[in-house]
Amino acid sequence: MLIMSIVLSLVGPLTLRMLDRAESQSEFISFQNSIKKVSYIAFASATEYSFKLDKNTLLVYKAHFQIQQTQFEYLNFDPQVITFNSRGYPDPETLTIHRQNKSEQINLFKLVEGVDARIKE
């Protein structure tokens, strides 16, 4: 019993970190899918959409009306507005995402086009 509790105390924190990393990655993929979805809808409907990002919040607007709000647990953003024109293309083209004490830049144009969007530094 003592050996089991010692093993659990050693492995427990590692397991929690792995779980946090997996949940962070899942949130990141979900966010990327939201970008692709809104881009497609903007193109298909020939309507302008926008994302307003601030801290851990994503607000989605159609024209000037808020249609969705999402709170993230692991993703954080600098205050920024991303506009998807009626052809589905984002402006500005890059976005910085902060997660798990790391900053990552993605190229939104490449993400929408379906290629590797991470900017290598």
Q: What is the pTM of this model?
A: 0.80
Among residues 92, 25, 87, 89, the alpha carbon closest in space to that of 53 is found at: 92
Determine the Cα–Cα distance for residues 44 and 73; give it in Å rounded to an integer. Answer: 31
SS (H, E, C) 10-68: HHHHHHHHHHHHHHHHHHHHHHHHHHHHHHHHHHHHCCCEEEEEEECEEEEEECCEEEE
**pLDDT-derived band at 81, boundaries 50, 70, 90:** very high
- pLDDT of 41 over the 60 cut: yes
Class of domain 2-113 (CATH, top level) = alpha beta
